[in-house]
């Protein structure tokens, strides 16, 4: 067993005052600014993402009668630049989440329970449910991957019926 590396003495001396200063400053920020500034910053990030979604996924709004609904039920505390936008259509709730420049798309049925799945995983599960083999699904995994709004638009547009069947059978 390797020897345990001890921290330098100066760190042990400086750490308690720094922790106390950090606690005091975060308490002051939360009391004076955080209660209104954080929510305002969150809303601004959500609005930017909503604008990008309406510009880059127009078929959700024109063909599928989508509308942006509240994402207040999102369970993760907002931090950094986390933005969450939920689009409700007749068939699905489509939640787009962006944090630090990367985004994720989750799909759920509009009927309770609103079991949410990643878009790629939902498409894989739908194909397995329709009788595809596991090897076949794994071999075509790259066709369900997304890294841009255009990819998500393509997946939703071309695989909408597959997702409908998957959620109906569930």
With contact defined as beta carbons under 8 Å apart, do 146 and 119 qualify? Answer: yes
18-62 residue pLDDT tens: 999 998 988 887 788 766 776 777 788 888 889 998 988 888 888
| Phi, psi angles (nearest 5°) of residue 40 | -65, -40
Check residue 14 and give its pLDDT: 92
Closest CA to 111 of 85, 93, 131: 93
Length reported for the chain? 170
Domain range list for the chain: 47-169
Check residue 136 and give its pLDDT: 79
With a cut of 70, which residues of the chain have pLDDT below it? 1, 34-35, 38, 75-78, 169-170
Rounded distance between C-alpha atoms, residue 142 and residue 79, angstroms: 30
């Amino acid at each position: 067993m390797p020897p345990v590396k001890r921290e330098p003495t100066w760190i042990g001396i400086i750490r308690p005052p720094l922790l106390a200063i950090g606690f005091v400053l975060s308490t002051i920020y939360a009391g004076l600014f955080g209660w209104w500034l954080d929510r305002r910053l969150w809303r601004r990030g959500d609005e930017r993402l909503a604008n990008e979604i309406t510009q880059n996924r127009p078929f959700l709004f024109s063909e599928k009668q989508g509308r942006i609904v509240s994402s207040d039920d999102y369970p993760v505390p907002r931090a950094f630049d986390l933005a969450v936008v939920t689009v409700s259509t007749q068939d699905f709730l489509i939640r787009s989440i962006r944090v630090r420049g990367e985004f994720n798309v989750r799909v759920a049925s509009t009927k309770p329970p609103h079991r949410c799945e990643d878009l790629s995983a939902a498409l894989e599960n739908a194909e397995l449910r329709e009788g595809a083999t596991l090897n076949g699904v794994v071999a075509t995994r790259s066709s369900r991957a997304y890294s841009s709004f255009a990819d998500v638009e393509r997946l939703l547009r071309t695989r909408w019926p597959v997702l409908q069947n998957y959620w109906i059978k569930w």
